[in-house]
Structure 1
Amino acid sequence: MNVHSPYVAAAPFVSVVIPVHNGARWLGETLVSLYTQSLLNFEVILVDDASTDALRAVLDVHTDERLRVFHLPNNVGVSAARNHGIDQARGKYIAFCDADDLCNPLRLERQWFFLESEPDIGMCGSAFTCFDTQDRDIVIHPQSDIHIRKAMMHGNCFGLSTVMVKASLLKTYRFDVSLKVSEDYELWSRMIAAGVHVANMPTSLVRYRLHQQQASRYKAAELDQISRRVRALYCARLLGDEDFLQRIVAFPSHRFNLDQAAQRVMERVRRDSEFVARDFRFLLAWLYQQQPDHNIGAWWRWTQIQASLGLNLDRTYRLNTALLAFAPEAISRRYFDLLLKLKY
């Protein structure tokens, strides 16, 4: 199979999906980084999410026979826009790229070849380089499936613009259109919990642009809250208890029973040596945070549950959480929120 096959066959090797809303400023650079790929047989699916800037002018300049543009009449949000791009994709694999990031010239070829060579792997990402006026840090996530599966219990292990996935998987697993942030973390965690094997390549294949438009206090706060919920749901999925998961999804209509949650954790740990109780400590802390009452009784039960799971608590932690039991409700919840960030 010739990597340098003619441009855009009826079934390209890879479809690159780019959602964009008022992203004309850097889109031209992004497209150039794709047009110069060593792998030629691919298509770019650009979904214009009702932009009102100079996007069309940029597209008039950066034309290419591999570019397919879809203009949405209304702004539907990044998740729905990506899903629309997935629906239009014709490639065996779908790669993602944001409209302000840059791809290494070898990115598509290396990831395509890796997935072709490893048929059991359904999705792969890579390391990436952060940059503004110059290159900054290189971010390298865990690489093997087993290490990623565990690390996802603590946070997202994939840079969105580094990901390439089997298209057949994305016909089943879609981005959650209700999410404005962490939609990628939510999708990857759902796929991994369902048994999809994944990997990360150690080489930096993408340059991730840092700019002021990404810095929003509201967005950062929203990202923090939603990513915690996604993290908790991923941990719950790993417990293998669908009924328990559905009760978490139904929050806040259901009052969680921490004892039942702890019991499910112990059952999971006993039947699978892959996990230890500490792996699920965040899930229990998140469930405790959702409890309607943070009083002395709730705190005592919370510490007893952790002790029963063999989760040794240091003196400072015990003192801090004990203070919560006597603090006003608003202060208690804010303080526990801080502890959740620092301790878990």
Structure 2
Amino acid sequence: MLKELSSLSVILSAYASISAMAMLIRTILNEMLPERMTNYIFSMIYDFTSAYFSSDFTFIIEDRWHAGDNQLFRAAEIYLPTIIGPSSDSLLVGFDESSVPTTPPKRSILVDCRIKDDFDGMRLEWTLSSIEPKKYYVPTKRFFSLTCNKRDRERVEQRYFPYINRTAQEILNKSDSLSIYTYDQECSMWEPTAFKHPSTFETLAMEPQLKEFIMKDLDSFMERNEFFENVGRAWKRGYLLYGPPRTGKSSLVAAVANYMRYNIYGHQFQGVRNDYDLRRILTSTTNRSILLIKDIDCITTASHDRTKVIEKCEVKEDKDENKRPFSINYRVIHSFLSLSWFD
């Protein structure tokens, strides 16, 4: 008992000496240095000591990565709502247009909400943060903070993050709902809407041979990941849809989306200001997606040439109407359909 008291008294004496020394040093610095310099020095000392004695390590996962969307951030967005438990103090819920009224609401993550997870004996804590930009044309910056024990850092990188990616992919594969996205140029972000187009290959009015060819081509695209990787090409497939209005181009796009279970990103590139804008728009599409570019010929001067052709044909048709057995509709619509899958 006496030994324990003596040890405690030694600790208290050492703490008192250190505190007195710190106060003396601070007093001396306040008299010799400006206040801003003193605060800076003590903040550096605090940061050093807290980093040295703290047992926590924090991963920062931003929504953007190398001029594109961070796939780990998106995987966390899909995975985390499935593990929200009683330890979380808030929860964002809601229904979308495709929800069945009798089903539970869908979950989402609220900014500053803390979510705890247990994986392979590791205690992990997630937090979603958001920073509003000072300039209106700069998009909002969002990022996840993942805190773990320092000794678990390597296991989180090698095992936990791949597990999140796999789980998010399984959730997407089981999802029944699809979305169609339109790009908001002012906010620099894609805005989703529930996609409920009924068109399928069974209901599509098309030649059976051509329909079978497209379905086999889509199946081949899904199975040729190794081929694209071996030849060093991006895993994507492109289709050019050409024809007059109301000939089934949009229905074909919807049938492909329903067959592949891919979301659609539709955009007209006439409003793209420069190459940076175009790169940002293209790289912000998600995995398992269809990029639909409407009126692709309007990006260049081809649309002006097409207008001239229409005007000349209309004038000629008015002058020589009786000599033409039928009239041709020159107002065609060009669409480019690109299916992409990035791993």
Q: Mark yes or no: TM-score above 0.5.
A: no
**TM-score range with shorter-chain normalisation?**
under 0.3
Larger radius of gyration: 2
Structure number with the higher strand fraction is 2
> Structure 2 length as normaliser, TM-score?
0.23
> Structure 1 length as normaliser, TM-score?
0.23
